[in-house]
Chains A and B, each alone.
Chain A
Amino acid sequence: GAVVSQHPSWVICKSGTSVKIECRSLDFQATTMFWYRQFPKQSLMLMATSNEGSKATYEQGVEKDKFLINHASLTLSTLTVTSAHPEDSSFYICSARESALNSPLHFGNGTRLTVT
Chain B
Amino acid sequence: AQSVAQPEDQVNVAEGNPLTVKCTYSVSGNPYLFWYVQYPNRGLQFLLKYITGDNLVKGSYGFEAEFNKSQTSFHLKKPSALVSDSALYFCAVRVRYNTDKLIFGTGTRLQVFP
A: residues with CB less than 8 A from B are 4, 6, 9, 32, 34, 42-44, 46, 49, 91, 93, 95, 97, 102, 104-110, 112
User: Of B46, B103, B107, which contacts A106 at CB under 8 A?
Assistant: B46
Is the beta-carbon distance between A44 and B100 smaller than 8 angstroms? Answer: no
Query: What are 20 A-B interface contacts by the 8 Å CB criterion?
Result: A6-B43, A9-B41, A42-B106, A42-B107, A43-B90, A43-B106, A44-B44, A46-B101, A91-B41, A95-B43, A102-B49, A104-B46, A105-B100, A107-B36, A107-B46, A108-B43, A109-B41, A109-B42, A110-B42, A110-B43
List of A residues within 8 angstroms of B36 by Cβ: 107
List of B residues within 8 angstroms of A93 by Cβ: 43-44
Is the beta-carbon distance between B43 and A105 smaller than 8 angstroms? Answer: no
User: Of A44, A95, A109, which contacts B90 at CB under 8 A?
Assistant: A44
Is the beta-carbon distance between B43 and A109 smaller than 8 angstroms? Answer: yes
Give A91 Cβ to nearest chain B Cβ, in Å.
Answer: 8
Within 8 A of A (CB), among B44-98: 44-46, 49, 51, 90
List of A residues within 8 angstroms of B102 by Cβ: 34, 46, 105
Is the beta-carbon distance between A4 and B100 smaller than 8 angstroms? Answer: no
User: Which residue on chain B has the smallest CB distance to residue A46?
Assistant: B101
Report Cα–Cα, A49/B106, bound state, in Å.
21
List of B residues within 8 angstroms of A109 by Cβ: 41-43
